[in-house]
Structure 1
Amino acid sequence: MGLIGKVIGQTEIKSDGHLFYESWRYRPNQISYMSPGNMQGVEIYEGEWGTVGCRMIWSYTFGGEKKVTRDIVEAVDDEKKSITWKLVEGSLLDLYKTMIITVDVDTKGKSSVVTWTFEYEKLNEDVEDANALVDFHLVMTKDIEAYHLRQK
């Protein structure tokens, strides 16, 4: 078992994939309304929503515990509907030396496919792979889908 890892999770959504992407890019502060059991809030402390270099603080509940993480938006690709964040501070960095999170939304067809990718380096061999983080984000994806479907 190595220290460097990558885990990927995918799910299909029936709600508007463009709207899902825009929620993460331009309105991540509203995700706490869409998935309140998981996300309690997001604030910017540098930059503007949806721009490379934007720095945010995420407050969330993971594994039954309240957590806080700071990240920076590293890449945005509107054509591919992809956003990449790099964690720079917070509880996850107690386990991982580095963590890069990417969400991609494939909007071809009647439904969309959301893909979450976590690339990381663990601090030591005892740290679990990031599968639970993928599952957490897939649950939020389904919460956001349900929220958007109710808004139609």
Structure 2
Amino acid sequence: MPSAPHLPLEQLNDLDDSWTLAEGSHGDGPMLVRINNSARRWAGHPELGIRVGFAIPLNHPNPGGLPDAEENRIISELEDRIRELLQAGGPVVHALAITTGTFKEFVFYLKNGECIGPVHEQLRAEVSSHQVQCMAYLDPQWDVYASFATG
């Protein structure tokens, strides 16, 4: 995937994001992946090499299907809150949203890894409807994004 190492982070603007939907399978059920096509221009940026995923296990899992509309609505509001909190910590790209019958995960690439712990703790304090899990990795080549965005 071509990288854009010379784009200044000041140009980062999620209002310009363009998303597509891909379908696949996960275990014995469907998987939907929202892919931020606009993120391609940032892929591999040397200052956005930290990947963080916030996974939200469903309260009413449906392993053979997808979440019900009400739970999906609640988790969509959490998605907006996660993005807002991460953006307050510095430059961030919301790259993917993965939905299965057992969880939703939101994948971001960011510069400031020091904000991840405080953001996770704040979400855990604010959110009583769902468990919020968080994992972060160094992913300077944006391998996870590339695995979904190719093609």
Between structures 1 and 2, the one with greater strand share: 1
TM over 0.5: no
Between structures 1 and 2, the one with greater helix share: 2
Question: TM-score scaled by structure 2?
Answer: 0.31
Question: TM-score scaled by structure 1?
Answer: 0.31
